[in-house]
Amino acid sequence: MARRDLVVIGGGTAGLVAAIGAARQGAKVTLIERARTGGDCLWTGCVPSKALLAAAAAAHTARSSTHLGVHSDHVEVDFSRVTAHVRRAIGEVAPHDSPERLRAEGVEVLHAGARFVADDAVEVAGRRLRFRSAMIATGAAPVLPPIDGLVQAGPLTTETIWDLEELPRRLVVLGGGPIGCELGQAFARLGAEVTLVEMEPRLLPREEPEASEVVHAALLVDGVEVRTAARASAVLPGDPTGGGGGDGSTDGWRLRLERAGAAGGARVDPGRGAGGSDSRGAGGAPGRARAGRGARLGRGGPRSLAPAPPPTGPSACPPPRRSAPGSAPAARCP
């Protein structure tokens, strides 16, 4: 069969931009995605998070406009309608990242896993596909930190938090990077009691100290309890009698904190998007490029959220994306 000019493995933001850009220049392009095109930005990142932030900002504005002469004694948040707003935002953007749009741009789209079988070929659903260049854009996946009892608590991640149908009464966010800060603030403004835990001495450890101070102060104003220089060492069942930091129910959980430690993050996942590869699919060979979020995510990446009561015990205080309809201006993808 004819050799493709470019094979793109992974249909997230990087893969979509590369595939469409190359096709518009006349290249023969095949994009391989085993799940759904759009990637984190569309389904679990930029679009849903900014739609959620828009709802949270509206609630915050309603509560804090007395200086303008606007008084609201009670702001009620209907979380089911908030989640419906988030889903609508995703639905309005999804056609732009769809296989139909890609095919209209001249990109061949294959829904399957992919495996490199030669320096110039991949195997896709039993089909051998030769290429001149290949791009690995399989992205990253949430990873849970090794905390005793965390798995048993059924923690949320940045992928599963969008499945919530009810607003958590209490939420602990592990990781004080950009994602943890924005989700922590959003849920606090929507009415949850939020505790944000960061192992580094300050929030946003990769940013300038002044930026960390501004964000820290804003979170405190919004009622977020911030614990820095703290490591979560264990998640324990709550006391059903309501003592010991439990929430008065048998499904409550307590978080034990120590000073300093290990934070959650994201790992490069060759199994996302188009599937795994053999040893030759790890990159580095001529004609292959790697793209995706894994290259710039590390210890500061807040990727794990666990519904739990406030902790007890010792503590220490790619190209720009379009905004989701009705949301705040889109920020750079985290």
Bridge partners for 288 per DSSP: 134
Question: Which domains are delineated in the chain?
Answer: 4-141+267-296 (3.50.50.60), 143-266+300-306 (3.50.50.60)
pLDDT tens for the chain, 334 residues: list them.
679 999 999 999 999 999 999 999 999 999 999 999 999 999 999 999 999 999 999 999 999 888 888 888 788 999 999 999 999 999 999 999 999 999 999 999 999 999 999 999 999 999 999 999 999 999 888 889 999 999 999 999 999 999 999 999 999 999 999 999 999 999 999 999 999 999 999 999 999 999 999 999 999 999 999 999 998 999 988 754 334 333 323 246 788 877 643 334 444 444 444 443 332 333 334 355 555 433 222 223 333 444 444 344 433 333 444 444 444 443 333 3
State the Cα–Cα distance between residues 109 and 113, nearest whole angstrom.
12
Specify the pTM.
Answer: 0.74
C-alpha distances in angstroms, 198 versus 159, 181, 191, 260, 275? Answer: 20, 10, 22, 8, 33
State the Cα–Cα distance between residues 273 and 14, nearest whole angstrom.
12
What's phi and psi for 245, nearest 5 deg?
85, 0
State the Cα–Cα distance between residues 236 and 44, nearest whole angstrom.
28
C-alpha distances in angstroms, 85 versus 43, 52, 166, 325? Answer: 14, 8, 14, 9
